[in-house]
Amino acid sequence: MIKVGIIGATGYAGGEIVRILHNHPDTEIVWYGSRSYVDEKYANVYRNMFEIVNNICDDGTLEELASKVDVIFTATPQGFLAKHLNEKILNQTKVIDLSADYRLKDVKVYEKWYKIHHESPQLIEKAVYGLCEINRDKIKNTDLVANPGCYTTCSILTAYPLVKEKIIDPNTIIIDAKSGASGAGRGAKIQNLFCEVNENIKPYGVATHRHTPEIEEQLGYAANSDITIDFTPHLVPMNRGILATEYATLLPKKDGTYPTEQEIREIYKKYYEKEKFIRVLEKGAMPETRWVETSNYVDVNFVVNERTHRVIMVGALDNLVKGAAGQAVQNMNILFGLPEERGIDFVPAFP
C-alpha cells in the first residue's frame, strides 16, 4: 500500500483528495494535515466522512511527515511549500503540490504574478509540470510534481493539439473561461458569499489573472516559441466546473486554403484518441460542465468559422477533480507505476 499524507486536507481540493483516495485500492491515508482544525476529528469538518474517516487532523511539519509516508499531497496556499520544501525531504518521499510554487520555470515570472518571494528557486528545475497527458514520461522520473491549475488544465488541453501542429496562430488565442465558486477555495471571503455570487456572473483578474503565464508557458512549449495570449476568467453561481471557450486564427496552408473541420478533427483524434480522460465530442455537441461533474474527464470540441478563418475551441472539466485532486491522483498513479485510471475511473454524476 502507498502511504499518503495530505497537507491542507480540509480545503476543497484536499477534501476531494481524501474522497478519491478513500476508495483507491492501493493507498492508505495516514496523515490528515490541517492548520485550521488541529486535533479535531476529520469527520467533524466534513460530515460526509462520518463513520468513514475516524482520523484526527494534525499540523505536523513536512520533515516529520516525510519519514512516515511514500507521497505527500500539498493542497496549500501559494508560497507554503516553497518555504518548507528541501532536498532532504525529496530524498525521503515524493511530493505532489497543488499550488503554483513550482509550475513556472522562471522565478521572476512567478514573483511578478503572485506578488510573493520564492523561497526555494533551486528546486524549480527539479519539478515536472504534472499535465499527465502531455508530460507522463517526465512525471515517471521525478520526486516533485507541480500539479496544474484548473483553468490552465482546461485551457491548455483544449488548444494543445492545434498549437502543436501549427494549425493556429498561438498569439491570437483568446480564452474566455468560467468557473464555479469552489475554484476560489474554502476560505471565508466577502466576494464568495452566497449573496455576492448567486444570480450573478462577473469577470475578475481581467488582463492580470495569475494563471495567464502558466498557460502561455505550456502552450509556448507546444509552439516552440514564446507566445502571448488574452485570458479572462469569470465566476458563475455553481459549485463545480470550468468551461473554457477559446478563439484563435487559423493559419493558411501552403496552397492558400485553410484547414477544414475534418482535418482539424483528425488532429484531435491523433492526440487524444487513446487518452482515457480526454473525450473529443462528436461534431455539433459542445462541452458542458454538467457532463463532467465529479469526474476526471475533460470534454473538448470545436467549430470552424469559415467566414472569419477562426476556430472556436471549447473545453469543460470539474475544477476539483481533473482541475485539482483527480489529476493529482493521476500523477500519483504515474509516479508509482500504477494504471493511470486507478481509483479515478468513475462516471460523472448527474444531476
Query: Catalytic residue at 150?
Result: yes
* CA dihedral for 38, 44, 46, 50, sign (positive or negative): positive
CA distance 55 to 319: 26
Marked catalytic residue, from 57, 132, 150, 154: 150
Q: What is the CA radius of gyration of the chain?
A: 20
C-beta separation of 315 from 154 below 8 A: yes
Which 3-state string (H, E, C) describes 150-200?
A: HHHHHHHHHHHHHHHCCCECHHHCEEEEEECHHHHCCCCCHHHCHHHHCCC
* CA dihedral for 106, 235, 290, 319, sign (positive or negative): positive
* Pairing label, strands 144-146, 310-317: unpaired
Set of cell numbers at residue 218: 505550456
Q: What DSSP string runs through 38-77?
A: TTSBHHHHSGGGTTT--PBPB---HHHHHTT-SEEEE---
The alpha helices in the chain, defined as continuous H runs, are 12-22, 42-45, 62-66, 80-84, 87-92, 107-114, 132-139, 150-164, 194-197, 212-223, 261-272, 326-335
The gap between the terminal CA atoms of the chain, to the nearest Å, is 34
Instruction: Give Cβ neighbours of residue 116 (< 8 Å, ≥ 6 apart).
Output: 78, 79
CA distance 254 to 274: 30
Q: Which residues are catalytic?
A: 150
